[in-house]
Copies of this chain bind each other. A is one copy, B any other.
Amino acid sequence: MSDQAIILFAHGARDPEWAAPFDNIKRRLQAERPGVQVELAFQDFMSPTLDEAVARSAANGAKRMVLVPLFMAQGGHLKQDLPRLVAQIRAQHPQIELKVTAAIGDSPEILQAIGDWVLRGAAA
């Protein structure tokens, strides 16, 4: 196991089925990077929280963490809530190198993939 962790951060919902696509992404990543810890974390309604996922990764030896917000768009959750959570984590775990990536909707490749998928669905 490397000292790297990927933490996929999603919104969460009351409906357990809501987590399915995020679980799917986690499994894909874990299969492609068997040596890297891949964790899900949720802002609301579901567990683990971001705090808990970071603590678990750290306890398992992760020193470099990449936090990927699996949010479609930039809004209050990513602009206000997440920076606050990240600041707390950095204060609690000063030894950990924590990088935060862009949101899903910031990626032109994914917007292209979504557009292509819409056209396939619209044509079907």
**Interface on A for B, CB 8 Å cutoff?**
4, 6, 8, 10-11, 13-15, 17-22, 24-25, 28-29, 32-33, 36, 66, 68, 70-76, 79, 101-119, 121-122
Q: How far is the CB of A69 from chain B (nearest CB, A)?
A: 10
Q: How far is the CB of A4 from chain B (nearest CB, A)?
A: 8
**In the assembly, how many copies of this chain are there?**
2
User: Chain B residues near A75 (CB, 8 Å)?
Assistant: 13-15, 17-18
Report the bound CA distance from A116 to B24 in whole Å: 13
User: Chain B residues near A72 (CB, 8 Å)?
Assistant: 10-11, 21-22, 70-72, 104
- Return the contact of A70 from the options B18, B24, B101, B114 (Cβ within 8 A): B114
